[in-house]
Amino acid sequence: MGQIEDLRIFGIVVETGGISKAAKRLGIAKSAVSRRISLLEERYGAILIDRTPGVWELTATGKELYQRALQVVGEMDGIEADFVNTSANHSGPLSVSVPREFGINFLSNALLAFKAKFPEIQLTIDFDDRSIDLDRENYDFAIRITGNIIDSAGATRIGTVNHRLFAGSQYFKTHAMPTCLDDLRDHNLLYFGSARRTVWHFRDAKDKHQELEFEPFLNSNSGTFLLKATIGGHGISRLPDFIASEAVPQGDLVEVLPDLVMPEWGIFLVHSEKRLLNRRMRLFSQMMTKVCLAG
């Protein structure tokens, strides 16, 4: 039995939480699994799992090896899947959670193109913004957009979303155009979210940080609704490019304070750290990365 298989067994022991459960999943004797873990510990000269009476816990070395093993075994499985039988189809299920408005406004064509290219994949797309547990729920991937870094071995940044300030094209017939950040205090500001008091952050032309704290005139958890409210002249809003992109060329929106740059948000493709990417997942990852990087 090779080193890759030993690492695979170690990973299953960690994921199942015990040697007995791992042996049952693998269909081999408990003593055989225990022996493989002992051989790994001898090879690396370190205790990987504290198995003293009443204790079962990964050591620091065990945690590091587990993370490295996931990558190595996953890469090996990928090679096997891609090259051992290159004529095999890609049939099987693939379930993905996608932010509702980003998915509908920006990703719809790419998702349909993926299904057209791989019709044998049983694709399920859930348009939902809620927080999900990838370890417990039946999703292969989640695509999420955030201004924070998702610090996870299962997260890959596949693109960027930019936000800008907009008003409806008719808005400035009855309101003065802002010339500086403080001028915004004289306007109705529309906000994505439920905060009753919030802050917008900016970088000016000299790359100096500026911010505006305010009480929103209108709150909503729908970018599409805020777009409609903005076009309708109800105030100034911060909108992502994938929401505003069509309305700007049509002349429905006017950019406000274009010299102020808002922080970029990342588009992340996330899967459970416990999951090894199968062929279907890798194909999906490749296409979504290409689409999101192209913007």
Please state, in angstroms and rounded to a whole number, the distance separating the CA atoms of residues 190 and 229: 8
Domains of the chain: 3-84 (1.10.10.10), 92-159+266-294 (3.40.190.10), 163-263 (3.40.190.290)
User: What percent of the chain stands above pLDDT 90?
Assistant: 59
Band the pLDDT of 5: cuts 50, 70, 90: confident
pLDDT in the model for residue 76: 77
Is the pLDDT at 87 greater than 50, yes or no? no
Q: Could you give the CA distance from residue 68 to residue 62 in angstroms, rounded to a whole number?
A: 10
Spell out the alpha helix ranges (H) of the chain.
3-16, 19-26, 30-44, 60-79, 100-102, 108-117, 223-231, 241-244, 279-294
- pLDDT tens for each residue of 162-188: 999 999 999 999 999 999 999 999 999
Residues 20-32 have a mean pLDDT of 87
Q: How many residues does the chain have?
A: 295
pLDDT, residue 205, reads 86
Question: What Cα–Cα distance (Å) separates residue 206 from each residue in 2, 6, 179, 255, 261?
Answer: 58, 55, 16, 20, 11
**End-to-end Cα, the chain, rounded Å:** 46
Mean pLDDT (the chain) is: 90
Q: Is pLDDT above 90 for 225?
A: yes
Q: What is the pLDDT of residues 100-159, one digit of tens each?
A: 999 999 999 999 999 999 999 999 999 998 888 888 888 999 999 999 888 887 899 999
Buried-state track 176-199, b at ≥16 Cβ within 10 A, e below 16: eebeeeeebeebbbbbbeeeeebe
Per residue in 89-108, pLDDT (tens digit) is 677 899 999 999 999 999 99
Residue 1 reports pLDDT greater than 70: no
